[in-house]
Chains A and B, each alone.
Chain A
Amino acid sequence: MDAGRKILLLLAVPVLLIAAWWAATAGSTNFFWPPLAQIAGTFGETWFTGRFTADVLPSLARLLVGYLAAVVLGVGLGTAIGSSRTLRGLLEPVLEFFRAIPSPVLVPILMLFAGIGNEMKVLVIVSGCVWPVLLNTVEGVRALDEVLRDTARCYRLRRRSRLIHLVLRGASPQIAAGARQALSIGIILMVISEMFAASNGVGFTIIQFQRSFAIPQMWTGIIMLGLIGIVLSLIFRVVEARLLSWYTGLRMSQREG
């Protein structure tokens, strides 16, 4: 009974919304709002007859490479900056400035250096994703528990194990928050870099559909991008829950105690 109620609550509104969309556009002759039935019909043939490997996978590969590079870079630099007061003071305003630049404007700049190939797109993604990770890592490292830090020093933990077990572990909830922000920025940049200049990719394909007024196909592209966003955020949540299970457990017991 309870489970049934839960499922009902989970699905009722989405189903209603889709039904409403379906009904509202059922007999639609409006050029811009084709019937949902037609969009659903074209979805399969648009994306799963070669386009998935030709456009979606290259996009995702660029996103993955750029995103991972940004996380590694951000955590590395962030740990260094967060551990040194001088370095932090020196770089804080510079970092504030770079973070405040809306990352899409980097696309035209990086095009100068790296052309319009894969390198440019990966660079764009790296240069946009690195800031949230970097700044959150700095905050996380700075806010480490003093007692833990002193304990580690008393037990003479080596630099390496102190870094792994104390600094990175302690900052990991913050790092995860930064990585989550970076993921949504990464998706935006993946699409934009392809809309700006590309020969393949999801963003490129959608703009092509729009320019050639292939409206139902364009709608399937919008849905495709939405699905990519949802699936990636689900994957992120699963990974985060695994890596931070100790932290959620700790928080829960603190709240109860």
Chain B
Amino acid sequence: MTAAVTAGAPRRGQGGRRHRALPAWLLGLIGLAGLVAVVELAPRAGLVDARYLPPFSQMVSALAEQAATAEFWQALLETLRGWAIGLSIAMVAGVALGILIGGIPLVRAALNSTIEFLRPIPSVALIPLAVLLFGTDMRSTLLLVVYASFWQVLVQVLYGVRDVDPVARETARSYRFRPLTQVRTVIWPTALPYVMTGFRLGAAVALILEITGELIIGSPGLGKQIAVAQTSGAVASMYALVIVVGLIGVVVNVIARATERRALRWHPSIRREVSS
């Protein structure tokens, strides 16, 4: 008995040191495995009602069932398409208007209060209007997506344009650069990091509103499938769809971050990160 304890003690010390040296990805994997184990075991052990939280394996089999239907892939496609179209419109409008408004000080000063006023209006306030105008068409969700992500982009672009070095701007003006050349050579490089931040924020917000619109309005997409699964009591497939939506969210975040790094390869903040 005592021998076992004394023999165990140093090994435990060693184990502790090795544990501290575990790489981050392995720790993360353990964390994910732990989550899966909890979701699998808690309902099986009766800690939560299995009707409300089915075991993980059931969610996976429900997901496999879903993946075999054309309906699921159609819904996935609708969601991604709505998200992409909405985000593109918001990006183009946000960047164009941001550069236009930010480039002219008087316009900027005059519009400041209006932007500050319109921005905090929650986009879901537009749901009833969207339903009346477009019904359950994908356009009503598109309206929400564009409205919500537009502000994210616009505000970031405005910050970016304000950040332009006055000396660079004056120099460009002294050399009589044309307005478009000024935008391309002076404003755009300064604003680009902000534009990418706007893109990252806008991409996440657009996905939230896309799913919300589908869920509440009933326009086609994964959100609608979730609502259908919920009303028909298919709890496992509802969870499966929520997991799919979460994974889309993760992928969107990863892609947005990768795009940001790629577009800003030349920028000091990224170069420093890469070299260090």
Q: Report how far A111 CA is from B215 CA in the complex, Å.
A: 14
Distance from B156 Cβ to chain A, minimum over Cβ atoms (Å)? 14
B45 to chain A: which residues have CB within 8 Å? none
Q: Which residue of B lies closest to A10 (CB)?
A: B113
Distance from B60 Cβ to chain A, minimum over Cβ atoms (Å)? 15
Given A108-B227, A108-B238, does the pair A90, B28 have CB atoms closer than 8 Å?
yes
Cβ-defined partner of A14 (8 Å) among B20, B117, B235, B246? B117
Q: Which residue of B lies closest to A190 (CB)?
A: B122
Task: Check if B127 is an interface residue, CB within 8 A of chain A.
Answer: yes
B-facing mask of A1-33, CB < 8 A → 1, else 0? 000000001111110010000000000000010
B126 to chain A: which residues have CB within 8 Å? 222
Task: Check if A187 is an interface residue, CB within 8 A of chain B.
Answer: yes
Task: Check if B35 is an interface residue, CB within 8 A of chain A.
Answer: yes
Task: Check if A96 is an interface residue, CB within 8 A of chain B.
Answer: yes
Distance from B91 Cβ to chain A, minimum over Cβ atoms (Å)? 19
Q: Report how far A99 CA is from B121 CA in the complex, Å.
A: 23
Q: Which residue of A lies closest to B107 (CB)?
A: A13
Task: Check if B216 is an interface residue, CB within 8 A of chain A.
Answer: yes
Across the interface, do A92 and B24 meet the contact criterion of CB distance under 8 Å? yes
A-facing mask of B13-53, CB < 8 A → 1, else 0? 00000011010100111111011000000000000000110
Which of B170-178, B190-198, B205-213, B263-271 lies at the binding interface? B205-213
Q: Report how far A108 CA is from B238 CA in the complex, Å.
A: 9
Across the interface, do B245 and A102 meet the contact criterion of CB distance under 8 Å? yes
Task: Check if B125 is an interface residue, CB within 8 A of chain A.
Answer: yes
Task: Check if B94 is an interface residue, CB within 8 A of chain A.
Answer: no
B-facing mask of A87-130, CB < 8 A → 1, else 0? 00111111011111111111111011100000000000000000
Cβ-defined partner of A105 (8 Å) among B24, B133, B226, B252? B226
Task: Check if B96 is an interface residue, CB within 8 A of chain A.
Answer: no
Q: Which residue of B lies closest to A233 (CB)?
A: B120
Task: Check if B189 is an interface residue, CB within 8 A of chain A.
Answer: no
Cβ-defined partner of B122 (8 Å) among A90, A105, A107, A187? A187
Task: Check if A65 is an interface residue, CB within 8 A of chain B.
Answer: no
Q: Report how far A225 CA is from B238 CA in the complex, Å.
A: 30
Cβ-defined partner of B216 (8 Å) among A89, A103, A192? A192
The residue among A12, A93, A103, A195 with the most chain B CB atoms within 10 A of its own CB is: A93
Q: Which residue of A lies closest to B211 (CB)?
A: A102
Cβ-defined partner of B28 (8 Å) among A9, A93, A105, A203? A93
State the main secondary structure of chain B at its contact with A: helix
Given A89-B22, A230-B121, does the pair A13, B110 have CB atoms closer than 8 Å?
yes
Distance from B267 Cβ to chain A, minimum over Cβ atoms (Å)? 20
Q: Which residue of B lies closest to A108 (CB)?
A: B230
Which of A143-151, A169-177, A207-215 lies at the binding interface? A207-215
B131 to chain A: which residues have CB within 8 Å? 210
Given A13-B110, A102-B208, does the pair A184, B128 have CB atoms closer than 8 Å?
no
Distance from A186 Cβ to chain B, minimum over Cβ atoms (Å)? 10
Cβ-defined partner of A195 (8 Å) among B30, B52, B120, B127? B127
Distance from B118 Cβ to chain A, minimum over Cβ atoms (Å)? 8
Across the interface, do B113 and A13 meet the contact criterion of CB distance under 8 Å? yes
Distance from A152 Cβ to chain B, minimum over Cβ atoms (Å)? 23
Cβ-defined partner of A229 (8 Å) among B52, B120, B207? B120
Q: Which residue of A lies closest to B121 (CB)?
A: A226
B24 to chain A: which residues have CB within 8 Å? 89, 92
Distance from B30 Cβ to chain A, minimum over Cβ atoms (Å)? 6
A230 to chain B: which residues have CB within 8 Å? 117, 120-121
Across the interface, do B125 and A226 meet the contact criterion of CB distance under 8 Å? yes
Across the interface, do B19 and A86 meet the contact criterion of CB distance under 8 Å? yes
Across the interface, do A222 and B242 meet the contact criterion of CB distance under 8 Å? no
The residue among A11, A94, A99, A100 with the most chain B CB atoms within 10 A of its own CB is: A100
* Residues of B that sit less than 8 Å from A by CB: 19-20, 22, 24, 27-32, 34-35, 51-52, 109-114, 117, 120-129, 131-133, 204, 207-208, 211-212, 215-216, 223, 226-227, 230, 235, 238-239, 241-242, 245-250, 252-253
Known contacts A105-B241, A105-B242, A203-B124; 19 further A-B pairs (Cβ under 8 A):
A9-B112, A9-B113, A11-B113, A12-B110, A13-B113, A91-B31, A92-B31, A96-B250, A97-B32, A100-B249, A101-B249, A112-B235, A192-B212, A195-B124, A207-B128, A218-B129, A225-B125, A229-B120, A232-B120
Closest 3 CB pairs of A and B: A100-B249, A89-B27, A210-B128
